Amino acid sequence: MADSKVERTSPGEEQPDDSAGDLSQISIERHQFYQGPLPPPQSLAEYEKILPGLAQTIVDTAQKEQDSRHQTTHYEQETERKFFRHAAIKTYLGQIGAFVIVMTTLVGCIGLIKDGHSVVGIAGIVTALVALSAVFIVGKLLKANEASEPTDAA
């Protein structure tokens, strides 16, 4: 690292010979940055000197903020867990409902075939099977489409 010599002069003071006519001033600025909820210990000590009790107030505020973030994170996790549980229940109930509808349709169609309405009964069974197949295929296609689309991560 190179050493440098900084000379400060006030306006009106005589300039050294090597800077004849150069009236520029040199200014040095120091910036200090920190990351996190608390400033460095030296800064806390300086705050405490300026206003007694201020360092404790800063620490208490940081602790309250951390507690709030923990509560928010816990709430978000709990909400997500409930969402997935309800989605699973909804899916399960949908499957049970579809099973009941299909079985009722099949029993009715078999009853029609037994009563001599074989064309209508067979048409009902074929219609039920085509509808089930269509729902299954569309569901698979939608899932495949969702999996292939990139999600936006914020």
Report the 10 Å Cβ neighbour count for 109.
21
Its pTM stands at 0.48
Encode pLDDT of 57-105 as tens digits: 999 999 999 999 999 999 999 999 999 999 999 989 988 988 898 889 9
Report the 10 Å Cβ neighbour count for 71.
10
| Residue 20 main-chain phi, psi, to 5 deg | -55, 120
What average pLDDT does this structure show over 17-40?
A: 75
Per cent of the chain over pLDDT 90 is: 44
Q: Which amino acid is at 136?
A: F
Per cent of the chain over pLDDT 70 is: 82
pLDDT recorded at residue 115: 93
* Coil, helix or strand at residue 152: coil
